[in-house]
Chain A
Amino acid sequence: MLKFLQTLDRRWIFLLMFFAVAVPLIMGTTFPEKPSDQVLSVFDAVDNLPDGSNVVMAWDYDPASEGELQPMASAFTRHCALKKHNLYFMTLWPQGIPMIQRSIDLLESEYAATYKGKYGTKFVNLGFRAGNEGVIKLVVEDLKKSYSSDIRGTNLDNIPLTKNLKNIQQVDLLCNVSAGYPGSKEWVLYGSSPFDIPTVVGCTGVQAPIMLPYIPQQLTGMLAAIKGAAEYEQAIINHYPELNEIPAAKEGLKRMGPQLVAHVLLISLIALGNVIYFWERKQGTPQ
């Protein structure tokens, strides 16, 4: 048996991983999630704002990381919509524009009464600007020097939401979802930290350790990976039970099922690999 495993074709492992992800995904297996303190601080940052507050939604990710980040972007959007906040969408990634559109579609379909046909008065899409942290440095000081117009080409002075907005120091919350550079770290370093703008972020699992040192002084809270998204969704559902009826509001929770099985498979593979390793050592065969 161990000899067979020693020369196991890696395509069998690929097949196992395929089933580990596909089966719970197809079956829709979910598990209960208890929001952590860090997730609750993100929830409170959005929820404690008075209805109709101004929130910047900086979506710095692309389709490659959408699987991990879209649930939290949707959860942020849904939570802000429940609070009827005014939303300013922008991105530092050229591929981020369609990601913003997904959130706008969500606003207009699920919260039509508040947002449908309210472009410019309840939400605005500033689109993409090149310059990475250079754009951040400018929008926190002088928004219109970086964005003279929105994505539709309309001058910001002609949009009710932006005509009196000098810079994003005037907003009530900065909400960033990021897959890397430029993203959460740059928003904290050049945006929130020097100007004390309350900021919450959602990021990939690999970014989480990089962002941890900024909590809680420079960063109010963070959603780390799909686990963070699932806990945040649960926190929103706990406070707004009507979301229990919306399957799309549980995307993160649904993805925890495949994550659990995949993690257990990984641990099993590590254990099996080590059994083979020690067996080889005992046999004196070269590793």
Chain B
Amino acid sequence: MKRTIPLLISAVTGFVLIATAFIPKFVDWGNDAMAWFNLLAAFAFILGGGNLLKMQLQKISAQQPGWGYSAVTLIAFFITLFVGLAKVGVHPNINFPEFAWSGDYLSEGSAFWWLFEYIFYPLSATMFALLAFYISSAAFRAFRAKNTEATILLMIAVIVLLGRTYAGVWLTGWLPNEPILGSSGITYSDFHLPHLSEIIMDDFTTPGMRAITIGIALGVASTSLKVLLGVDRSYLGSDQEA
């Protein structure tokens, strides 16, 4: 029963959603299914919070290496949760001034807004900015022309890196728009780095991505069918749990 009901729910919902693409009568049913999905997605935040608590508490209680970071995570989690739920420092909504909690939790001046603007925002931006430093170190140590494939990759990287900035124009902008050695099709200006960069993106990357995307789509379709028909039940957990 524990497995049959979820299987039925998945199959019915899935087939209804497929039917909405072909039968207009099913559109409303599909919309209802999506509304339920969105509600469940909101509940997933609670599940995520619970999982975070469980994992971090386990680390702290077992005094695993780095358990202090888990403690910091939990303290930050509870402070954020409290100021968000209690709407600390939030002014009432102008439409409902008689209700103290009617304001938006992220309104300017609120404690949650303060946490976002002065803690989360700079920390997130800093973490992402650090990438530039690690990429530069990796470029120096790892990007080596060890074989033909790596050499081609390296040359393409240089063309795209230069072609995506003004350096490409500056280095090759002087190439004249004249045919090379009297040939009719190819001109010197075809070797402008920004132009070469565009060719790489349009004529090599795009078809490659198209092929990968089509492959993924076929894979998703076959996996979805297996899930809807109950052939693949891995998403329900192991047989022992049921």
- Distance in angstroms from B80 CB to nearest chain A CB is 12
- From B45, B96, B140, contact of A273 by CB (8 A): B140
Most chain-A Cβ atoms within 10 A of its Cβ — which of B141, B166, B198, B213?
A: B166
Q: How far is the CA of A10 from the CA of B143 in the complex (A)?
A: 15
The reply to whether A138 and B35 form a contact with Cβ atoms under 8 Å apart is yes
The reply to whether B135 and A266 form a contact with Cβ atoms under 8 Å apart is yes
The reply to whether A130 and B38 form a contact with Cβ atoms under 8 Å apart is yes
Q: How far is the CA of A262 from the CA of B161 in the complex (A)?
A: 10
- Distance in angstroms from A163 CB to nearest chain B CB is 15
Q: Is chain A's interface secondary structure helix, strand, loop, or mixed overall?
A: helix
Knowing A66-B125, A130-B42, A213-B210, the reply to whether A138 touches B139 (Cβ < 8 A) is: no
Task: Tell me which residues from 160 to 182 in chain B have a Cβ below 8 Å from any Cβ of chain A.
Answer: 161-162, 164-167
Knowing A152-B95, A153-B96, the reply to whether A134 touches B127 (Cβ < 8 A) is: no
> Is B85 located at the chain interface by the 8 A CB criterion?
no
> Is A1 located at the chain interface by the 8 A CB criterion?
no
Most chain-B Cβ atoms within 10 A of its Cβ — which of A132, A208, A269?
A: A269
Task: Tell me which residues from 226 to 277 in chain A have a Cβ below 8 Å from any Cβ of chain B.
Answer: 227, 256, 259-260, 262-267, 269-270, 272-274, 277
- Distance in angstroms from B97 CB to nearest chain A CB is 12
- From A36, A227, A273, contact of B141 by CB (8 A): A273
Q: How far is the CA of A65 from the CA of B113 in the complex (A)?
A: 19
Chain B contacts for A151, CB-based, 8 A: 104
Chain A contacts for B9, CB-based, 8 A: none
> Is B51 located at the chain interface by the 8 A CB criterion?
no
> Is A52 located at the chain interface by the 8 A CB criterion?
no
Knowing A21-B132, A146-B38, the reply to whether A64 touches B125 (Cβ < 8 A) is: yes
The reply to whether A67 and B128 form a contact with Cβ atoms under 8 Å apart is yes
Of the listed stretches A11-19, A74-82, A109-117, name the one at the interface; the rest are far from the partner chain. A11-19
Most chain-B Cβ atoms within 10 A of its Cβ — which of A141, A194, A287?
A: A141
The reply to whether B145 and A274 form a contact with Cβ atoms under 8 Å apart is yes
Chain B contacts for A277, CB-based, 8 A: 144-146
The interface size bin for chain B is 35 or more
Residue of chain A at shortest CB distance from B210: A213
The interface size bin for chain A is 35 or more
Interface string of A141-183 (1 = CB under 8 A from B): 1100110000111100000000000000000000000000000
The reply to whether A16 and B136 form a contact with Cβ atoms under 8 Å apart is yes
Task: Tell me which residues from 183 to 215 in chain B have a Cβ below 8 Å from any Cβ of chain A.
Answer: 198, 201-202, 205-206, 208-210, 213
Q: How far is the CA of A98 from the CA of B124 in the complex (A)?
A: 14
> Is B67 located at the chain interface by the 8 A CB criterion?
no
Most chain-A Cβ atoms within 10 A of its Cβ — which of B116, B154, B164?
A: B164
Q: How far is the CA of A47 from the CA of B79 in the complex (A)?
A: 46
The reply to whether A63 and B121 form a contact with Cβ atoms under 8 Å apart is yes
Q: How far is the CA of A3 from the CA of B187 in the complex (A)?
A: 43
The reply to whether B136 and A13 form a contact with Cβ atoms under 8 Å apart is yes
Q: How far is the CA of A36 from the CA of B96 in the complex (A)?
A: 49
> Is A90 located at the chain interface by the 8 A CB criterion?
no
> Is B41 located at the chain interface by the 8 A CB criterion?
yes
Most chain-B Cβ atoms within 10 A of its Cβ — which of A13, A63, A97, A277?
A: A63
Q: How far is the CA of A141 from the CA of B139 in the complex (A)?
A: 47
> Is B242 located at the chain interface by the 8 A CB criterion?
no
Interface string of A211-227 (1 = CB under 8 A from B): 01100000000000101
Interface string of B75-115 (1 = CB under 8 A from A): 00000000000000000011110000010101010000100
Interface string of A44-70 (1 = CB under 8 A from B): 000000000000000000111111000
Residue of chain B at shortest CB distance from A271: B158
- From B117, B133, B201, contact of A14 by CB (8 A): B133
- Distance in angstroms from B114 CB to nearest chain A CB is 12
> Is B137 located at the chain interface by the 8 A CB criterion?
yes
Chain A contacts for B116, CB-based, 8 A: 95, 98
Given contacts A98-B116, A269-B139, A277-B144, 14 further A-B contacts (CB under 8 A): A8-B140, A13-B133, A18-B133, A62-B124, A130-B38, A130-B42, A141-B30, A146-B38, A151-B104, A213-B209, A262-B136, A263-B164, A267-B158, A270-B154
